[in-house]
Structure 1
Amino acid sequence: MASGKNKNEINTATKYAIVDIETTGGSVSGSRITEVAILLHDGEKVISEWSSLINPEMEIPLHITALTGIDDAMVAEAPVFADVSDKIYSLLKDVVFVAHNVNFDYSFLRGQFAVCGMFWDVPKLCTVRLSRKLIPGMPSYSLGKLCAQLGITLKDRHRAMGDALATVELFSMLLERDVDAVISGMLRKISPEQRLPPNVPMEDFAALPECAGVYYFHDQKGKVIYVGKAINIRKRVASHFTGNNTALRRQNFLRDIWNISFERCGSELMALLLECTEIQKHWPIYNSALKRFEPKFGLYHYMAVSGYSHLAVGKLPKQQQCLKAFNSESEAVSFLVEKSEAFNIDRRFCRYGTASVFKSELPIPDAVGHNANVDKLLDELGLEQNDFALILDGREIGENGCIWVENGKVNGIGYIGEDFTGKIEEVRDSLKKCKSNHYMLQLVMTFASQYPSRVVKVA
């Protein structure tokens, strides 16, 4: 009895604003509010209500009208947001903001207040997250389906007051079920749960380790929609859910995340390589940066009919072999200029992509001497093709990470025992095979040059 009394005291001492809005679209930066409904709740009952259509000062898209029934004619004589901003602010300034998928409504109102020069920041509760905790096991937590499953009346679907009234009934039901003070816990400033997207279980976030590795965001069907790497998995995942980025793509991204999984790695380099291989494997819809890691230009060698060796920078088609690959033409040209000077190669026998051909009044060098200089450069580049293994830190004591490089490609990654005493060649088949690319090889070669003690040459 005592705990129940305490719960009621907390509820009646707190004022909640159950809110629903309708908008012209899903992006705060590119869309506007068309309707607002606010129902003030004292923890036991609704004590006041307010609603209004809002003139968004922009055309309402046809698909939005089809969804909400709100068209341009309906809002033509309605107030613009600035005209009612003081009223809305007065209703929402000292409350707990409650909505179904709260971050959507909250971010829109916060953005519209900001346009009016008003700063607004209040605690918030999401009835999606609360329902998952207090009414577990439902097949769907969308407002419409949840109301149907719970016998809650829902009239005027996708109109602000209709959805707000249904959310009030749902919230009252949640208050009654909250015998373990879940709501109070979610309102604590230190609670990370309030920052999570509505569909992500707290258990998934709580399970994340604070170590290097790769994490995966999954959609409702379990499909991987994003892969990321981190030195600290938990910290990096949390950073996805902070900040005030209101772009439509980010809002869709957060809405589509339903589960989080991870794979621990012993080092940042191993995490980088695993991230690359997993992106190639799953091709997630929300990854973009590492989808563009294939090189575009290459360094080529050929022997002309004159008997002179030539070096040339040119475009690199897929599956084409070259001496060395580069991300850009300028990078390739700079490399060839540097190496031609270092090996005393006459630049008249070098072709720098689309750049002008080098001209000189000096005599043409002897072919034998010139070709010998080119061969020295080719020998240096050939050293990069040597097979070797990189030995890295493992995920735990008694384990080492291992990266296998063969024929100028990252062939495999994985983990071996720290006390391994056999020939290094024997570990190759135990490693996870990789589909190597230029970006991965660059990472490995840079690390190998910085930490030569980690390199084990393969006979």
Structure 2
Amino acid sequence: MNDKYNQLNHRFRKFYPVVVDIETTGFNHKIHALLEIAIITLKMDQSGWLKKSNIIHLHIKPFSGSLIDTQSLLLNKINPFQPLRRAIYEKEALNFIFDIVYQEMKFNLCKKSIIVAHNAHFDHSFLMAAIKRCNINNNLFHPFVTFDTATLSGVITGQTVLAKACQTIGLPFNNQKAHSALYDTLKTANLFCTLVNKWKKLGGWPFKK
């Protein structure tokens, strides 16, 4: 097999996949704030198997003027004003994340990063709103394309809920730990890597007509 098929930049058309999960103060990206963000960068080994690389988890201060939906806080169990969170401003968090992602993109010879998330529209919309709010001009992430593991799981496993999709393919999932950005990102990354690697193992990659 040509070695290019074992290179990350060739696998996703020079898109660099970054697994993301965000916890927020509500469901409207225009008025509700980020509270937590976790990202996991990915890599390929010499045999072309997709694996986790860097893991980043940050607590974020709500932006000025943002609103809070108490039902969301009951779900994610976050107190935005708890000082022990050691939260930072969202621009500081985004700059830190972008530095890591840029280095990974450069190392893997990719041109643009792409968000991988479960029900990706939610995380993508909040991240794009934060990037705009912070006046970050060099947005590393594709402005509208995502890899949604809910869709991929629905096609491959018949399940769209993260917990059920993980359990269907043999990945453990603890519902008591769900709705934590770090835990959900780890599970989403494991799910995505497993689905991509399973497709390769079945002979689906490289694609043959």
After TM superposition, is the score higher than 0.5?
A: yes
Partner of 1:117: 135
Partner of 1:8: 6
Q: How far did 1:167 drift?
A: 0.6
Greater C-alpha radius of gyration: 1
Q: How far did 1:152 drift?
A: 1.6
Q: Distance in 2 between matches of 1:181 and 1:106?
A: 27
Partner of 1:455: none
Picking from 168, 174, 180, the partner of 2:204 is: 180
Which portions of structure 1, spanning 4 or more consecutive aligned residues, are displaced by more than 6 angstroms?
none
Q: Does 1:53 align with 2:53?
A: no
Q: Distance in 1 between matches of 2:69 and 2:155?
A: 36
The count of corresponding residues between Structure 1 and Structure 2 is: 178
Unaligned runs of 5+ in 2: 45-49, 106-112
Q: How far did 1:22 drift?
A: 0.6
- The answer to whether the Cα contact below 8 Å between 2:35 and 2:61 also exists between their aligned partners in 1 is yes
Partner of 1:90: 99
- The answer to whether the Cα contact below 8 Å between 1:100 and 1:128 also exists between their aligned partners in 2 is yes
Q: Distance in 1 between matches of 2:31 and 2:150?
A: 25
Q: How far did 1:25 drift?
A: 1.0
Letter in 2 for 1:68: N
Q: How far did 1:70 drift?
A: 0.6
Once the two structures are superposed, residues 50-109 of structure 1 have per-residue CA deviations (whole angstroms, 9 ceiling, x without a partner) of 111111144643312221111133367411202222112223454332111112111111
Change (3 A) 1:54 1:164: same
- The answer to whether the Cα contact below 8 Å between 1:60 and 1:72 also exists between their aligned partners in 2 is no
Percent identity between the two aligned chains: 25
Structure possessing the higher relative contact order (Cα contacts under 8 Å, 6 or more residues apart): 2
- Superposed counterparts of 1:40-189, under 5 Å: 40-43=41-44, 44-57=50-63, 58=66, 60-74=68-82, 77-93=86-102, 94=105, 95-119=113-137, 120=139, 121-122=141-142, 124-135=146-157, 138=158, 140-155=159-174, 156-178=177-199, 179-181=203-205
DSSP-derived class of the 1:146 partner? helix
- The answer to whether the Cα contact below 8 Å between 1:15 and 1:42 also exists between their aligned partners in 2 is no
- Superposed counterparts of 1:30-429, under 5 Å: 30-43=31-44, 44-57=50-63, 58=66, 60-74=68-82, 77-93=86-102, 94=105, 95-119=113-137, 120=139, 121-122=141-142, 124-135=146-157, 138=158, 140-155=159-174, 156-178=177-199, 179-181=203-205
Q: How far did 1:165 drift?
A: 0.5
- The answer to whether the Cα contact below 8 Å between 2:20 and 2:123 also exists between their aligned partners in 1 is yes
Q: Distance in 1 between matches of 2:15 and 2:93?
A: 25
Q: How far did 1:181 drift?
A: 4.4
Partner of 2:19: 18
Change (3 A) 1:60 1:152: farther
Change (3 A) 1:74 1:133: same
Q: How far did 1:116 drift?
A: 0.9
Q: Distance in 1 between matches of 2:127 and 2:196?
A: 25
